[in-house]
Structure 1
Amino acid sequence: MDTTIHPLSKKLLNTIQEEINFKTKPIGALGVLETIALQIGLIQDTPTPTLSKPTIMVFAGDHGIAKTNKVSPYPQEVTKQMVINFLNGGAAINVFCKQNSINLKIIDAGVNADFEDNSQLINAKIANGTADYSVKKAMSTEEYELAFYKGKKLVQETYNQGCNVLGFGEMGIGNTSSASLLMSFFTNTPIEKCVGRGTGVSDEGLKTKIKTLKEVSNFHESSIVTPKDALISFGGFEIVMMCGAMLEAASLKMTLLIDGFIVTSALLAAHAINSNIIDYCIFCHTSGEQGHKNMLNYLNATPLINLGLRLGEGTGCAIAFPIIKASVNFLNEMATFKSANVSEA
């Protein structure tokens, strides 16, 4: 399933770079802020970019593998409980979005629970969780196509509401296992170097998790050729939905804010489908999950912050957003040497 994403136009590169260089500062003195300002200017094809209605989408979904108790110390019910916490405004992502005036959308992509009607919850449920991929594929082709489509549709609706900067978050007990398997496939990395402690498994639990995921990888290996195959085999509905959403956001020339390990696993799939997507991504932080640094290295990505976060939910995006906002603000509001009558070097 192809999505058209054009490489960034470079026709205004020199114009934007000169605008940055002639602000009242030494060249390069604002460091990474200058890099971000240039990137967003190129994405929007203007020397005066704006960040309109910043939004973070949190996609929630359950994973059949979690029911085996081999990959997470937390019961699957926690996914439902955390979604309710999001809706009640009690999670970390709620706090940080409120602090930074970011719109927050909570999406039921495939939680193993039924929720009461709530205007704060977007019902995009594919099914009550994926199948246990230790014995069969996580989802059918039809479920994959529907999740991918719903991700794209959600982004189209958000774009039509005036949003041009979109962050991605997730919630789902067991989803670090899916992310590890996807990382192993897309980066050709041994599974033991991809698997981390997730929600905090013990040393013994980590050994069991690695053993389980090695068996899963071997079980599906012969049937996986394409990104779609990998997502069908051991993806989550929330991961597939994010993949479709990311591709659509880039095709609409939105700025994508990439969170941690699970979100980046969805991006690995999106990148395998269309590598131009990277031009539209800002990598917000380095996760404490062991595989994330290797994912970032594979994508030649430099994250903005490293605070040892490993919570998910899009929290890295929300915390990094003021830095991104500062980059656009200095480009638009800071005086040039000429306008301020300041002598240049």
Structure 2
Amino acid sequence: MNIVEATLERIKPVSPQLLEQAQGRLDIKTKPLGSLGRLEEFGRRFAAISGTLNPDTAKKVIFTFAGDHGVTDEGVSAFPKEVTPQMAFNILAGGAGVNVLARHAGAEVRLVDVGVDYDFNGVEGLIDRKVARGTRNFAKGPAMTRDEVLAALKVGIDQADQCKAEGVAMAGTGELGIGNTTPSSAIIAAISGIPVRELTHRGTGINDAGLENKIRAIEQGLAVNRPDPKDPLDVLTKVGGLEIAAIAGLVLGCAANGIPVVVDGFISTAGALIASEMHPHVRDYIFAAHASVEIGHRFMLERIGATPILNLDLRLGEGTGAALAMGLIEAGVKVLKEMATFEQAGVTEQL
């Protein structure tokens, strides 16, 4: 049994009893029933996932997985792949969007190199788990081998296991990789059967001609590789990405360890979708951070069964949306833990 199979065996349903008990506590707080809306949902679910009605939220970590993509050879991005390592150094220096928003949320950012086509030479702060120097061009053949996919999944699972060992209360997903909206659109197209044109958007800002070319490359990749929609690992192997695989591994690992996982935008949700297709209970551990501008994101969220927390027209990635959503999830937990009951406050309950 490999680590992926072992992790899948560890995933259990979230306790319906704890969900009910948490809601019971929320219902006796000094407020009309349900009046704090989705904050109550966040608190209830966080408690049930964590296995306690008094969950800790102190330690929060966002994992930004980085990888390059061979399909950029098809001209699908407005930026060259050299930007991937350049942005990695920006994150390590604390200057990227995810760094700013994570600091605001009180979260740590950990950058994991799972597939950047660059030698970082052991730079301080980088978690070096490189599986390969990018994927292959999936418009011409499979993006990865099965062994590469399993190795990248293990990278994410290992981070989740480390979170459990460290007492991390909440994990967030993020990504970095020029061209990675292309495999993300390919993944949801392969799994859903929805036409590529209805799932593909402008990524980093390509023009109309660039968008047509991106659609062509994805359609060509699906035709060449014929991924099996019933086999999420086959889809991931043929048209996915190393960082997407690592995100899938992190989500699986968080579910196995009872850690709430906040999934960022379009690319992160591609990884979460793969994880959800691999095990039916994974979706219960996921908080969807936001609704991305990328048009394929809605279909991913619908398939997972997740309702996004925010809708701010975000499309940066990195884990930026996850950082923002963490604050609202934590607010919901604090309502559960800190808000007075009618009895404690001496307030008459509603009739």
Does TM-score exceed 0.5, indicating one fold? yes
Give per-residue Cα distances to partners, 1:201-233, cap 9 Å, x unaligned: 101110111112111111111666511111111
* Matched letter for residue 218 of structure 1: A
Do residues 8 (structure 1) and 26 (structure 2) align? no
For 1:82 and 1:311, the matched residues in 2 are separated by: 12
Residue 99 of structure 1, CA deviation? 1.4
What is the rounded CA distance, in whole Å, between the counterparts of 2:304 and 2:149 in structure 1? Answer: 24
- Which SS does the other structure have where 1:27 is aligned? coil
Of the three residues 49, 57, 61, the one matched with 1:55 is: 61
Name the amino acid aligned to 2:261: L
Q: What do residues 263-297 of structure 1 show as CA deviations (whole Å, max 9, x unaligned)?
A: 11111111110020111111110001111112212
- Equivalent positions of 1:108-257 (< 5 A) are 108-221=113-226, 226-257=231-262
Aligned residues of 1:186 and 1:269 also touching (Cα < 8 A): no
The answer on 1:327 being equivalent to 2:336 is no
Q: Which amino acid aligns with 1:60?
A: A
User: What is residue 96 of structure 2 aligned with on the other side?
Assistant: 91
Partners of 2:90 and 2:96 within 8 A in 1: yes
**SS across alignment from 1:126:** coil
Distance apart, 1:12 and its partner CA: 2.8
2:80 aligned residue: 75
For 2:45, the equivalent position in structure 1 comes to: 39
Partner deviation per Cα, 1:292-324 (whole Å, 9 max, x = no partner): 112212222211110000000010011111111
Q: Which of residues 333, 338, 348 is equivalent to 1:343?
A: 348
CA offset digits 1:44-66 (Å, max 9, x no partner): 22222221411000000000111
1:117 is paired with a residue whose SS is coil
TM-score by length of 1: 0.97
Deviates more, 1:224-233 or 1:52-61: 224-233
Aligned pair count? 344
Report the equivalent of 1:18: 24
SS of residue matched to 1:11: helix
Q: Secondary structure at the match of 1:200?
A: coil
Is 2:64 aligned against 1:64? no
Residue 67 of structure 1 and its aligned partner are, at CA, apart by: 2.4
Shift of 1:191: 1.0
**In 2: Cα distance, 1:342 partner to 1:48 partner:** 23
**Is 2:293 aligned against 1:288?**
yes
Identity within the alignment, %:
38
RMSD: 1.3
Cα deviation, 1:13-45, whole Å, max 9, x if unaligned, reads 332212101100111110000011111111122
Contact 2:78–2:204 (8 Å) recurs in 1: yes
What displacement does 1:136 show? 1.7
- Judge conservation of contact 1:67–1:76 (CA < 8 Å) in 2: no
CA contact (8 A) 2:264 2:289 kept: yes
Amino acid at match of 1:339: Q
**Whole-angstrom CA distance in 2 between matches of 1:240 and 1:222:** 15
Output the CA distance in 2 between the equivalents of 1:242 and 1:132.
20
Cα deviation for residue 171 of structure 1 reads 0.7
1:64/1:129 contact within 8 Å kept = yes
Aligned pair in 2 of structure 1 residues 216, 325: CA closer, same or farther (>3 Å)?
Answer: same
The corresponding residue for 2:33 is 27
Q: Secondary structure at the match of 1:328?
A: helix
CA distance in 1, matches of 2:111, 2:118: 15
